[in-house]
Amino acid sequence: MSAMSKESEIVDFVRAARADRSPFEIVAGSTRRAVGRPLGAIPKLDVSGLSGILKYEPEELILTAAPSTPLAEIVSVLAAKNQRLGFDPADWSQLLGSNGVTTLAGAVSCDASGSGRLRHGGARDSLLGFHGVNGLGASFRAGGKVVKNVTGFDLPKLVCGAYGTLCVLTELTFRVYPRPTHFAVLALPDVSPEIGFAHLRKIAQSALEPAGLAYLPGNIAPGTGQGSALIRLEGASQPLEEKIALAHGLLGSAVVRFDGEDPFPTIGNGEKFARVEGDVWRVMIAPSDAPRIAKELGAQYWLGDLAGGLLWVAAPSSEGARIRKIAAAANGQAMLLRASAEVRATHGLYAPQPPALAALNRSVKAAFDPLSLFNPGRL
Amino acid sequence: MLLPVTDSKIVARRADIVAALETIVPGGVVSDKSGLSTFDSDALSAYHQMPLVCVLPADRHQVSEVLKYASAEGIPIVPRGAGTSLSGGALPREDGILIGMGRMKRILEIDYENGCVVVEPGVTNLNITKAVEAQGFYYAPDPSSQIACTIGGNVAENSGGLHCLKYGLTTNNLLGVTIVLPGGEIVTMGGKCGAQGGLDLLGLVTGSEGLLGIVVEVVVKILRKAPVTRTLMASFDTVQAAGTCVAAIIADGVVPAAMEFMDGRAAAAIESYNQPGYPAGAEAILIIDADGVEADVSYAVSRIVEIVAQSGGKSVEATDEKQRARIWSGRKAAFAAMGRLAPDMICMDGTIPRHALPQVLQEMEKLSEQYGLGFCNVFHAGDGNLHPLIIFDVMKEGEFERAEAFGADILRLCVKVGGVLSGEHGVGIEKRDLMTEMFSEADLDQQHRIKCAFDSQGLFNPGKVFPTLSACVEQGHIHVHGAQLPHPHLPRF
């Protein structure tokens, strides 16, 4: 099937699918198809033709793009004006071993954000508005194209992390931000998880506005002894130096400036696990639980991001149920990011929700897509 | 604005309803006329309506039981926090139960380790900050009404404030909420882990204006107070120059903590009201806060000073905390100051792309002449959120209607230039009939379908936000409850 490049074509496609009650998979860059419950052999709607930046107003801090615009294109167009996307999109291609083009809507739909989420939030925090086609085959708009808007229900929040189960996105408008001119990574080497995470939380609770706070055990970051706490700070040159001095004041003289390549993109993209065997989980918990949960999980390969609020864990498939149980006991969420189709079919992306919440999720899904045509069961 | 038609059958059952509620919430039911009159309006004070009865639950289980009862009996519900809504979100109904959340005002947990506070909905916005400020923390969203408004109301309205340019709205500062659904079920979305394991329903219910559920618990993020805050005041001979300056600051990459604009009329009224020291004769004034670590703030301030000068303005910096407070006291007194010029006033709230500011200001002048009513402009310049204040005298024949029409035209203008009807006050009853200016039938239909997913009987805050209320339709079937269409008493606006 050829790629569609117009909203009207998508409307026709959805209406036909609706008439036939024929569910389909929405694809564009094909880098994240192996996430969530497998869809099986169903027809595909290829929206990769809906690509390109439609409007970019740097002085308004607003960018509108077609959904399948490559992220790389957006990042470079923004960088030329010293700006960045409102969120820190993560590229899971290496982790998932997928060849393709990472797109804007892919990152939005999978709520894929990296270490910068700590400071900048997720796609939900900067997606201002969108156009889409719902399961009735109706094209609609939601949100707005200005930076502050509370008119009507906040539907842009819903499409972030919905894995394409609510509508076919046809246009996205984002708030963008000035890009800091400088950054620095500080490292506290040879610290235990307890001490490393405690230091990260100290920075998280400071006024330093850190843009990355990760803990890497020694086997993930060789040469750092027990492990290393990493801190990313941003700013113009002089303010950055002051922040570094303040961080030294908070953490002591053992903190060193990390001169190698910025480690945070590889952390945020999950690339540390690209060549590690086993299933890959993202366990989201209250940051202060990180050392305890890391120990309880007992995984050979793991790391902590978001000041401990996110643990990346590699584990054999037999561990799935136990990981879910540990996360649930900590009031957290364990998301299964990389696994075989069979394991993903068993565990799903997330654990089953409490009945009332699950029912509400189903009702909201049905409010967009009553016949469950879009990516059925993926979320 | 037309109020929904009352269902007289419900009103006729009032005594039974009061008795039933007293069983559910002993000692927490207000049913006498003088008690109820306290609740007959919110901060959109042009509209008054006595509720059928007001109930003040003390915990989530009472909320749940009240909602189960209301659902079984088909009685509309209007939730209320502190009643500070500027869009009429908490305006009662003659045939509806008003649920006041003010008794649920405990701070349940302060968790510095994870940078969050767990509160009941009736805690005021400012009291969250007060609870954590000794440790150097605060809760970022700061609506002008923060001394009175409650966090539950903030969640319902997705409240903003002076500092949301840098720190975001309520929705960007929440980790979780627990709400009670129309049928009485209690559902928690999110929490300290910041994840929901499904659709982002937390994002959906935030700002849903009491149409989807009642908030009974909130987990908010708290932030470390910036070590340094500096305040600049810049004055300009023309509104255009101030507009250019705002755009240049944003384009430069500086993110001020706040950037407030006042036109010459507002500045003059404020100056005569509480003498904050605004320069006489200025056509526009900007108040700009920069916060962060020392060097960050120094850098921002030096950039801002330079850009102000390049834009033809003059800037002065507050030299101490006292002067800083004085400069801000003027902006915060804008309402009261304008109140001296005329007995009544309405505060509008639209957002525009910043580049459209000169055009919008010019067209507002024309509208002012056309309607024969005065106005002034204060707005959150950094994010383009306009708050035109229209002054009138309700005792003069036709002035209120003219003021409303003037305000509606301003909002139409906002939409025409690519903006939106509400930046932070919400739609409520005030802007309900203007929703079709911004959204097509298909857009509104999608929102309405979500309303139905939560509230198929249409009992939650009916008459607010959506201009037309049709029955909940799903896959071609109409949900029929008790052999009746939902809310048959509501006219189709």
Contact A364 B199 (CB under 8 A): yes
Residue-level pLDDT at B473: 56
Q: Residue B4: how many CA atoms within 13 Å on its side-chain side? A: 30
**Triad B107, B110, B111: Cα angle to 5°:** 155
3-state SS of chain A?
A: CCCCCCHHHHHHHHHHHHHHCCCEEEECCCCCCCCCCCCCCCCEEECCCCCCEEEEEHHHCEEEECCCCEHHHHHHHHHCCCEEECCCECCCHHHHCCCCCCEHHHHHHCCCECCCHHHHCCHHHCEEEEEEECCCCCEEEEECCCCCCCCCCCHHHHHCCCCCCCCEEEEEEEEEEECCCEEEEEEECCCCHHHHHHHHHHHHCCCCCCCEEEEEECCCCCCCCCEEEEEEEEECHHHHHHHHHHHHHHHCCCCEEECCCCCHHHHHCCHHHCCCCCEEEEEECCHHHHHHHHHHHCCCEEEEEHHHCEEEEEECHHHHHHHHHHHHHCCCEEEEEECCHHHHHHHCCCCCCCHHHHHHHHHHHHHHCCCCCECCCCC
Residue-level pLDDT at A59: 87
Q: Do B203 and A154 contact (CB within 8 A), yes or no?
A: yes
For domain A271-347, give the fold: Alpha-Beta Plaits (3.30.70)
At residue B493 the predicted structure's pLDDT band, cuts being 50, 70 and 90, is: very low
Q: Residue A218: how many CA atoms within 13 Å on its side-chain side? A: 8
What is the CATH code of the structural domain delimited by A7-178? 3.30.465.10
Burial class (CB in 10 A: 0-12, 13-18, 19+), B152: buried
Residue-level pLDDT at B259: 95
- Express as a percent the part of chain B with pLDDT over 70: 95
Q: How far apart are CA A63 and CA A126, in angstroms?
A: 11
Contact B446 A138 (CB under 8 A): yes
Q: Do B462 and B93 contact (CB within 8 A), yes or no?
A: yes
- How confident is the prediction for chain A on average, in pLDDT? 96
How far from B398 is each of A302, B44, B87, B96, B347, CA to CA, in Å? 70, 18, 21, 30, 18
Residue-level pLDDT at B491: 34
| Pair of tokens at residue B414 | 């906002």
At residue A364 the predicted structure's pLDDT band, cuts being 50, 70 and 90, is: very high
Higher pLDDT, A313 or B254: A313
B146-150 average pLDDT score: 94
**pLDDT tens track for A209-222:** 999 999 999 999 98
A313-331 average pLDDT score: 98
Residue-level pLDDT at B480: 37
At residue B340 the predicted structure's pLDDT band, cuts being 50, 70 and 90, is: confident
Does residue A281 have a pLDDT over 90?
Answer: yes
Q: Min CA distance, B446 vs chain A (Å)?
A: 7
Residue spans of the domains in chain A: they are 7-178, 182-268, 271-347
- How confident is the prediction for chain B on average, in pLDDT? 92
A108-119 average pLDDT score: 97
Contact A360 B426 (CB under 8 A): no
B353-363 average pLDDT score: 89
Domain A271-347 in the same topology as domain A182-268: yes
Residue-level pLDDT at B469: 63
Contact A152 B195 (CB under 8 A): no
Q: Residue A220: how many CA atoms within 13 Å on its side-chain side? A: 29
The pair phi, psi for residue B344, each rounded to 5°, is -130, 155
Does residue B133 have a pLDDT over 80?
Answer: yes
Letter string b/e over residues B373-402, b meaning 16 or more CB atoms within 10 A of that residue's CB:
bebbbbbbbbbbbbbbbbbbeeeeeebbeb
Q: Min CA distance, B77 vs chain A (Å)?
A: 19
Unique residue bearing structure tokens 């990390």: A258
**pLDDT tens track for B41-59:** 999 988 999 999 999 999 9
**pLDDT tens track for B55-90:** 999 999 999 999 999 999 999 999 999 999 999 999
A164-189 average pLDDT score: 96
Q: Helix, strand or coil for residue B230?
A: strand
Domains of chain B, each with CATH number or no CATH: 8-100 (3.30.43.10), 107-224 (3.30.465.10), 228-335 (3.30.70.3450), 342-426 (3.30.70.2740)
Residue-level pLDDT at B1: 67
**pLDDT tens track for B244-273:** 899 899 888 888 999 999 999 999 999 999
Tell me the residues of chain A between 11 and 50 that have a Cβ less than 8 Å away from chain B: none
Contact B442 A139 (CB under 8 A): yes
Residue-level pLDDT at B476: 41
Q: Min CA distance, A351 vs chain B (Å)?
A: 7
Does residue A160 have a pLDDT over 90?
Answer: yes
Q: Which residues does chain A have within 8 Å of residue B191's beta carbon, measured at their own beta carbons? A: 286, 331
How does DSSP classify residue B30?
E
At residue B470 the predicted structure's pLDDT band, cuts being 50, 70 and 90, is: low
**pLDDT tens track for B287-314:** 999 999 998 899 999 999 999 999 999 9
Q: What is the pTM of this model?
A: 0.95
How far from B363 is each of B95, B357, B360, B366, B367, CA to CA, in Å? 41, 10, 5, 5, 6
For domain A182-268, give the fold: Alpha-Beta Plaits (3.30.70)
Does residue A5 have a pLDDT over 70?
Answer: yes
From the list A153, A288, A371, the residue facing B114 with the nearest CB is: A288
At residue B488 the predicted structure's pLDDT band, cuts being 50, 70 and 90, is: very low
Residue-level pLDDT at B417: 96
Q: Which residues does chain B have within 8 Å of residue A287's beta carbon, measured at their own beta carbons? A: 113-115
Q: Which residues does chain A have within 8 Å of residue B423's beta carbon, measured at their own beta carbons? A: 146, 148-150
At residue A306 the predicted structure's pLDDT band, cuts being 50, 70 and 90, is: very high
Residue-level pLDDT at B341: 84
Contact A178 B422 (CB under 8 A): no
The separation between CA B476 and the C-alpha centre of its own chain, rounded to angstroms, equals 35
| Pair of tokens at residue A124 | 């939900």
Q: Angle formed by the axes of helices B239-252 and B294-310, to 10°?
A: 140
Which run of H or of E encompasses B143? Answer: none
3-state SS of A261-314?
A: CCCHHHHHCCHHHCCCCCEEEEEECCHHHHHHHHHHHCCCEEEEEHHHCEEEEE
**pLDDT tens track for A208-256:** 999 999 999 999 998 899 999 999 999 988 889 999 999 999 999 899 9
